Structure 1
Amino acid sequence: MSAAHWIYLLGLAALIATVVARRNVVALAVVATFVTGLAYGGSVVTGLGSVFNAAVLATRELLPIFVIIALVTAMLGAMRRLGADAMMVRPLGRFFRNGHVAYVVIAVVTYALSLSFWPTPVLPLIAAILVPAAVRAGLAPFGAALAIAITGQGMALSSDYIMGVAPALSAEGADVPAGPIADRAMVISLIAGVVALAVAYLRDVRTKMLDPMASALVVLPAAEAGSAGSASVGAGSPGTNAAAAAAGTDAAPSAATGGAAATLTTSPAPGEGAGGGSEDTADAAGPGSPSRARIIAVAVPLVFAALLVFMLLGRFTSLVPNIDDGQGAPLVGGTAALALVVIALTANRANWLEDVCEHFTEGIAFAFRTMGMVIPVAGFVYVGLSDYSADILGLPEDARAPAFLLDAIKHVEPYIPHVPVFASFAMLLVGMVIGLDGNGWPGLPFTGSLAHSLGEGSGADVSTLAAIAQNGASWTGGGTLVIWSSLIVVAGLTGVSVVELARRLFVPVVAGLVVATAIASVAL
């Protein structure tokens, strides 16, 4: 353990302390990267180069995630221009009968959409169509934000069962197939999610966030976007008022967000949103004909449902080829890209070439606006992983890459009791630390290799240990516990404080992860 090891660990501890204090850690991550590089290389040049190289490497590693978010966002943007997005979810409006039911419905729909498309791209659709209907039914925006974050940024992302990117990354280090990891991660995420939803409902929603009279006075950011043309995505977004605070939104801006925000162009919910308004009003949402919009509204879900069936048949049967090991993301991304072209051609034959370019550019901009703040934090975490540290520190190709984080964990590993339950909770803790980068997935090969090591010593199932770490990393960094993740998008589109949202999510999410890990350690 060199001085650079200790400086890196002190930086990681400072980052965790800053998280507890609910402050933004981007600046801290930049400084910690510089100091670690300075201590290891012994020169200011190495320190400065480390900051730049870490940002470049983090961008390179996260680029596939940015691109899939951009493609799906572009497709949904084309659907929005045609008016097909509202038609696609309008039938769900009839289920929003009261605040209690709205909490369940928005959770189920968010989970289904996020599991298929990833949560961040579908957030504008959910916020523009479903959230207004839920609020009118009596659910406060904060209650909707809790349900969206738990099921989308937590449950769906932690298993990544359809795309398969996260299980494939975990399998790289675990030396086991991605399929068993995906299956176990799905079970763990469902247990954690159900527990988190129940705790959040009993702790906050049932007692504080079901007030139809107050909710009726709330003006959501998505609704303001309909008249102003855009919505501010971030903490302290405009559109909240005293009535919103009375309904439990606590939407006052907070300096803890570090001013991070993004701007997202959205369209108003047609008519009265998902739950009301005439069909003629809804059809007027886009420039295309109502019949074309209906065709797209039906065709897009059917295409992605067929894709899901194909992937599941490949995983569980021999009827079609197995497309395991992360191939789900390219399939979904490619399908979204082709769907974008078809939708743009359907909506506007005269200018469809320009429309495709415009939607794709907006999708790329949205992806980087919402997830860009993750890059410096991820870069600092990568300094501690041997797969990335050599590039960041500018070492020669034949030099031994330092592994600051792995070396520290190896020093602690002998003290972990060789009992499956202890190994399981150790993997959960390591996964949550990895997730502090605001994403969590790039560190999954590392947690996979650690799962392989602990599994051999404790007799625990390696796939289960890898799946536990994957859940810990994804729930933390994917967008439920740290405010520099896509959680800021959830907060901005629902008009609540991202700091307060993270605070209220902490107990439900941690309780869910603890219960799920305990069950997994003895049953999976």
Structure 2
Amino acid sequence: MTGAHYIYILFIIVILITMIMKKDTVVPCVLGVFCLGLFYTNNIAGSLGAVFNSFIVSLGELGPVILIISIMVALSKALETNHAINYMIKPFSRFIKNPTTAFFVIGIAMMLLSWFFWPTPAVALVGAIFLPVAMRAGLPAIGVAMALNLFGHGLALSTDFVIQGAPAITAGAAGIEVFDVISQGMPLYWIMAVVTISVAFWGLRKDLKKGMFREELQDVEHEEIKEFNKNAKIATFLVLIGFILDIVAMSVFDLKGGDASALLGGTAVFLIIIINLMNHKKKCFDVTCENIIEGFVFGIKIFAAIIPIAAFFYMGEVAPITSVLGEVLPANSQGLLSDIGVALSNTIPLNRFAVCSIQTVVGAITGLDGSGFSGISLVGSLANVFGTAIDGSVGALCALGQIAGIWTGGGCLVPWGLISAAAICGVSPIELAKRNFKPIIIGFVVTTIAAMFII
């Protein structure tokens, strides 16, 4: 542990206190990067440059998400012209009758798609289709974002049963088979999911009964269009066929993550052009440009405050801090966040209670960078050490650390990790993170206690 590690810990505490006080965290994040720069460069000019360069790194990391969200919003603007959006979602109204059915239908659809294609491309598809009909059924935009987030970036990504990227990383680091992580951790996956989602929905229902979202819902629930022109029907057909073909291509060519998002985004761009050509003929060029501008204005508005926040936490990883400040980390360092997790694990005596608690805490700490995946190799390694030391289940310990890392950083707890769901629903990432905080912490506590008996 060096001075940089203690600076990083100090600013993590300051940021958490700032969030508890319900204040924006941009300023402490900027100051954190500046102080790290000052520690390593010993000059103010280099530290100021580090702040700007950390923003560039953050923008590079978040850029693909900003692009896909902006393009999907631009597509929705094109579809609004002749009410094609309304026509598109009409069939779903027969299944979604109230906030409860809306929340769980959206969640299950998101979970299934995320298992096969990962959450980032899935959230754009599911969010764009279900948001209007869910709000008309009485589920506010924040509720839609929670369903997308908890079922997709939480349940589906932390289990990753189909693609098996997450369990492959933890299993590889622990020296066991992927099947062992999935099978031994199965009770923990579902305990976390059921507890967290139940608590989150219960809290949302309480606020709905209090009428907290009445004004927001009144703005959308009375509009009903009974007749649609030919262009609306053709546009809906084109979007449906386009995205179905995308899903087939993702499966056939094994596209996931960024590649899947790229395919989805490219398809959306061409759909915008074709739909505007049908609707506006000679004005197609101008209207398409307007749609793209509207989409990017929306995307930048949502992400502007997230970029400097994420910049600080990206500095906890090896590649970003090296990109900003050069080769400043010791040769044996795994990054500031991972080093802090290892140091924590070495300060506490080992027993079932301590081991499970450490796995959850270390997993959550390494998830603070917003990726969810950068630290799960560390918890896999720790699971091997801890499981051997106490003669416990290495697979279950892997799953526990995996759950903590991904539910924290994969897109449910830290605001810079859940921006895709927040953006597609037009809600604040900070507000969504606050909504998720209590349910996820309760889920962590219950799952960790369960793990003490399971391992």
| Deviation per residue, 1:57-113 (Å, 9 max, x gap) | 222233333344345444555445564443333222123334443443344345456
- Are the equivalent residues in 2 in contact too, given 1:155–1:193 (CA < 8 A)? yes
Q: Structure 1 residues 8 and 517 mapped into 2: Cα distance closer, same or farther (>3 Å)?
A: same
1:345 paired with 2:344, answer no
SS of corresponding position for 2:346: helix
SS of corresponding position for 1:89: helix
Q: Which residue of 2 aligns with 1:196?
A: 196
Counterpart residue identity of residue 38, structure 1: L
Counterpart residue identity of residue 259, structure 2: P
Shift of 1:34: 0.8
Listed as ranges, the matches of 1:260-279 within 5 Å are 272=222, 277-278=225-226
Q: Which runs of 5+ in 1 are unaligned?
A: 224-268, 312-320
1:512 paired with 2:454, answer no
Q: Which residue of 1 aligns with 2:151?
A: 151
Q: Structure 1 residues 221 and 33 mapped into 2: Cα distance closer, same or farther (>3 Å)?
A: farther
SS of corresponding position for 1:18: helix
d(CA) in 2 for partners of 1:209, 1:37 = 46
d(CA) in 1 for partners of 2:345, 2:21 = 29
Counterpart residue identity of residue 193, structure 1: A
Q: Which residue of 1 aligns with 2:260?
A: 331
- Are the equivalent residues in 1 in contact too, given 2:338–2:366 (CA < 8 A)? no
Shift of 1:14: 1.4
Listed as ranges, the matches of 1:407-426 within 5 Å are 407-416=339-348, 422-426=354-358
Q: Structure 1 residues 420 and 146 mapped into 2: Cα distance closer, same or farther (>3 Å)?
A: same
Give the counterpart of 1:134 among 133, 137, 144.
137
Counterpart residue identity of residue 94, structure 1: R
Q: Which residue of 2 aligns with 1:387?
A: 319
d(CA) in 1 for partners of 2:327, 2:33 = 15
1:440 paired with 2:382, answer no
Q: Which residue of 1 aligns with 2:310?
A: 378
- Are the equivalent residues in 2 in contact too, given 1:192–1:515 (CA < 8 A)? yes
d(CA) in 2 for partners of 1:178, 1:307 = 26
Q: Which residue of 1 aligns with 2:361?
A: 429
Q: Structure 1 residues 200 and 385 mapped into 2: Cα distance closer, same or farther (>3 Å)?
A: closer
1:295 paired with 2:292, answer no
Q: Which residue of 1 aligns with 2:49?
A: 49
d(CA) in 2 for partners of 1:47, 1:424 = 39
Q: Structure 1 residues 23 and 114 mapped into 2: Cα distance closer, same or farther (>3 Å)?
A: farther
d(CA) in 1 for partners of 2:67, 2:176 = 27
Counterpart residue identity of residue 374, structure 2: P
Counterpart residue identity of residue 292, structure 1: I
SS of corresponding position for 1:209: helix
Shift of 1:357: 5.5
Shift of 1:133: 1.9
SS of corresponding position for 1:23: coil
d(CA) in 1 for partners of 2:299, 2:183 = 28
Shift of 1:31: 0.4
Counterpart residue identity of residue 124, structure 2: P
User: When you count helix as a share of all residues, which structure comes out higher?
Assistant: 2
Number of residue pairs matched by the alignment: 446
Q: Which residue of 2 aligns with 1:226?
A: none
Counterpart residue identity of residue 267, structure 2: L
Report sequence identity in percent: 25
Q: Structure 1 residues 307 and 178 mapped into 2: Cα distance closer, same or farther (>3 Å)?
A: farther
Q: Which runs of 5+ in 2 are unaligned?
A: none
Q: Which residue of 2 aligns with 1:218?
A: 215
d(CA) in 1 for partners of 2:432, 2:62 = 25
- Are the equivalent residues in 1 in contact too, given 2:78–2:275 (CA < 8 A)? no
Q: Structure 1 residues 103 and 401 mapped into 2: Cα distance closer, same or farther (>3 Å)?
A: closer
Q: Structure 1 residues 39 and 191 mapped into 2: Cα distance closer, same or farther (>3 Å)?
A: same
Q: Structure 1 residues 493 and 328 mapped into 2: Cα distance closer, same or farther (>3 Å)?
A: closer
SS of corresponding position for 2:22: coil
User: Which piece of structure 1 moves more, 513-522 or 378-387?
Assistant: 513-522
Q: Structure 1 residues 164 and 356 mapped into 2: Cα distance closer, same or farther (>3 Å)?
A: farther
1:60 paired with 2:2, answer no
User: Which piece of structure 1 moves more, 182-191 or 54-63?
Assistant: 182-191
d(CA) in 2 for partners of 1:14, 1:127 = 38
- Are the equivalent residues in 1 in contact too, given 2:141–2:425 (CA < 8 A)? no
Shift of 1:29: 0.6
Shift of 1:512: 2.5
Q: Structure 1 residues 216 and 478 mapped into 2: Cα distance closer, same or farther (>3 Å)?
A: closer
Counterpart residue identity of residue 303, structure 2: M
Counterpart residue identity of residue 258, structure 2: A
Q: Which residue of 1 aligns with 2:23?
A: 23
Shift of 1:202: 3.9
Q: Structure 1 residues 172 and 11 mapped into 2: Cα distance closer, same or farther (>3 Å)?
A: farther
- Are the equivalent residues in 1 in contact too, given 2:396–2:454 (CA < 8 A)? no
Q: Structure 1 residues 379 and 172 mapped into 2: Cα distance closer, same or farther (>3 Å)?
A: farther
d(CA) in 1 for partners of 2:170, 2:152 = 20
